[in-house]
Structure 1
Amino acid sequence: MHDSAEPSAGTAATRAARHGDSLLRRVGRGAARPFRPPEDVLEPVRLGRELQRSLVTGRRIVVSRPQGWAAESTVTALLALVFAHYRYDRVLALDLGPGNSGLGPRLGAEASGAPGLAGDAIESDSFGDVAHCLEGIGEGLWLLPGLQEEMAQGRLDAGRYRGAVLPLTRFFGTTVIDRAADMTDGLNRAAQASAHAHVLVVPSTRDGAASIGRAFDWMAANGAETLPNRIAVVFTEQTRGQDPAFDYPASAAILRESGAEVFRLGFDRHLAEGTRIDPSRISAATHATATRIAAECLRRSL
């Protein structure tokens, strides 16, 4: 479930075509579909209704990692795709990670030439004008391009984020923000402060659990002991059996005592290729988990 650069053109098509589930598992799931218990059918319906709840004002969800390498761009893209699938209003994706963008390739963004924050119409009160500054990603999903270049050239700081980026989110029911590492610069602090809900992404390892524990200890020591009530922790499995000694149930139980909700996003062959995410090719388990995470984030944002 890597957030790495896209593979070469010669392998991209082959890798993107790979399903998260094996052929045998897909066939077996299809054969068993008529015999599924009622709760297996009702749960997706319930989650869909939660994701379609009406919002008075737009919700902003920030996805980050406490430290080290984690698949936060993959999780950000999955959440944006889930919201765009279920909701009737617009969804905006932002990539505030330093360096090369990891979110755009995961969403299949192309070099559309949209001007982003450099566009003259970005501050318009009409979405029809603003839309020309954005890149459309399928039905209902938009990406604000060029943020890495803005940051690299020093044109995007906390003040411009509050003055130009935050007002843009008023056109969207949900905004999902990839904040990459849990950095402490002014821009990232402003993004964190603007969030209605947070997602912390860590590897599904003992070190990953320890990093979340340290983050929660810091919150408690700095007067933010209620912040976990707005947090969903996502353990991502980068390879099969990544850390056989990791006790996920015990770690999740401890973290939930702080008020956070905890999820485990298992290994998925399609996501592991690092190419554009095709929702029709991710595994059934990934689809179900991503939907639960999105519904929980929306609930916590309210």
Structure 2
Amino acid sequence: MTGSADSRADSWADDPGLAPWLGDAGPAPAPVVPLRRPTVVPADPTPPRAARPGLLRPPSRRPTAPAMVGGPPTVAPPLSVPPTSPVPSDGYLRDGGAARPVPRRGPRGWLFALSGGRLNPGTSTRELAEQELLGRIRTPLAGWHTVTVASTKGGVGKTTTSALLGLTLAEHRADRVVALDANPDAGNLADRLIGHPATASLRQLLDHDDPDLPASFTEISRFVHDAGRLQVLASDQDAAMSEAFDRDEYRRVLALLVRFFTVVVTDSGTGLVHSAMAGALETTRTLVVTGAPTIDAAGHIDRTLDSLSAHGFDELVRDAIVVLSCDRQARSVDPVALKAHFERRCRAVVAIPRDPHLAEGGRIRLDELRPATRAAARELAALVGDAFAWDFPATTGVDTPGGR
């Protein structure tokens, strides 16, 4: 690790009382810097060259806006626009109701429906915010996008977060989303998503007789399982076979999946130095790191970020999303200070509230979650969707024949 990372880790890892998120840790945290919103690039940038033939690589940096040539643009005089009829002072439109967005929910939606569309009070601020959130989740994506959910500590919601993210993206997007269980320790992502033992796994996909298959979505559907609109590729439940899953095999699986799926959500293991984890990190475009608002779990998040930075993944760390699973809470941890601490290190922080449905440990169904939990899942999906706007096309040195 770098010197700064070592000094920070030594200061509170050896003495938890010095952690910056503890309630009595001194002065209040510095103001939180607003989250960076990615800039949409008007023209497709040139993707980075692969390190060697056949190597999947994520973009090495965000695309930037083209330099301005010839000074700032001149502004033309405004066009002459004929006057329009003013909106009635009571805020309701009768014959011209279509001029306003149509409300779909709440009292405004009921009024619009009961009046047959003659009375349109417009959408509420809350509904507009929800529409904006869904618009971010549905951001058009050129090529494919990989999301890796990681943690060096078990039991802090890594698999739950992977399931929530995959289900939410699949529910609100029109393209195909797949959740991949790449945990080399016989992961249980499929159990949480389909509710019964998987009948096929990534090992069967890798061991298929014909390396050119699957050549169609119908063929790959033999190896994945349905969880609503989400597709799931399970890990092998044989501990020896699961442990054998390595870096090259992860890349082979990913190369097959991106022929047919636009978004791949990978539930990884807890070992950052495992071979399969190396393959996942090298092809990751959005990193999600999970933890909990406790002293030990928060410390694991910091150590995970420090380790990734020390191994050359600084950009992934800066653009990472930290997810805090709040099914347990340490009284000595200040949640506001904890959130501010990780917002200074990463792009965003999302808190998943305690939910009885998630606590059961069974199959996760979005319609059985509390509203606050579903809202947190949508917020996470929207933050992932923000990265779609500045993503490179998926022409990164991998041969992906076939269609979607």
* TM norm structure 1: 0.79
Q: % of aligned pairs identical?
A: 27
Task: Give the drift of 1:68.
Answer: 4.2
User: 1:73 deviation in Å?
Assistant: 0.7
Aligned-residue Cα RMSD (Å) equals: 2.6
Q: Distance in 1 between matches of 2:270 and 2:192?
A: 18
Change over 3 Å in CA distance of 1:81–1:35 after alignment to 2: same
Distance across 2 between alignment mates of 1:175 and 1:148: 21
Pairing 1:213–2:285 present: no
| Structure-2 separation of matches of 1:76 and 1:161 | 17
The verdict on how the C-alpha distance between 1:154 and 1:250 changes in structure 2, with shifts beyond 3 A counting, is closer
Indicate yes or no: 2:160 matched with 1:74: yes
Tell me if the contact between 1:151 and 1:157 (Cα under 8 Å) persists in the aligned partners.
no
The worse-fitting range, judged by mean Cα deviation, of 167-176 and 88-97 is 167-176
Alpha-carbon offset, residue 48 of structure 1: 1.1
The residue identity in structure 1 corresponding to 2:222 is H
1:136 and 2:229 aligned:
no
Secondary structure class of the residue paired with 2:273 = coil
Give yes or no for contact 1:76–1:176 (8 Å, CA) kept in 2: yes
Going from structure 1 to structure 2, the CA distance change for 1:218 and 1:112 (only over 3 Å counts) comes to: closer
Q: Distance in 2 between matches of 1:150 and 1:164?
A: 19
TM-score (norm 2): 0.61
Q: Contact (CA 8 Å) 1:150, 1:156: kept in 2 or not?
A: no
Provide the secondary structure at the position in 2 that maps to 1:171.
coil
**Alignment partner for residue 166 of structure 1, among 255, 263, 270?**
255
Deviation per residue, 1:192-221 (Å, 9 max, x gap) = 111110110102213222222233334444
Task: Give matches, 1:82-97, under 5 Å.
Answer: 82-97=168-183
Partner SS, residue 269 of structure 2: strand
1:98–1:151 Cα contact (<8 Å) kept: no
Deviation at 1:95, TM superposition (A): 0.8
Report which of the two has the higher share of helix: 1
* C-alpha deviation, 1:70, in angstroms: 1.2
Distance apart, 1:33 and its partner CA: 5.1
Distance 2:199 2:210 in 1: 14
> Residue 357 of structure 2 contacts residue 368 of structure 2 at CA under 8 Å; is this kept in 1?
yes
Tell me, in whole angstroms, the C-alpha distance in 2 between the residues paired with 1:109 and 1:220: 37
CA contact (8 A) 2:324 2:351 kept: yes
Counterpart selection for 1:51 from 137, 140, 162:
137
CA displacement at 1:181 relative to structure 2? 1.1
Q: Look up the match of 1:228.
A: 317
Once residues 80 and 219 of structure 1 are traced to their aligned partners in structure 2, the CA distance between those partners, rounded to angstroms, is 24
Find the aligned partners of 1:153 and 1:180 in 2 and give their Cα distance: 11
2:150 is aligned with 1:64:
yes
Match of 2:395 in 1: none
Give the drift of 1:278. Answer: 1.6
User: CA offsets, 1:149-182, max 9 Å, x none?
Assistant: 4863665321122123333223111111100314
1:103 to 189, 192, 196: 189
Which region of structure 1 is more displaced relative to structure 2, 268-277 or 163-172?
163-172
Q: Is residue 247 of structure 1 aligned with residue 337 of structure 2? A: no
* Unaligned 5+ runs, structure 1: 1-31
Helix, strand or coil: the match of 1:147? coil
Please say which of residues 194-203 and 216-225 is displaced more in the overlay.
216-225
Radius of gyration: which is bigger?
Answer: 2
CA distance in 2, matches of 1:178, 1:297: 15
Q: How many residues align?
A: 268
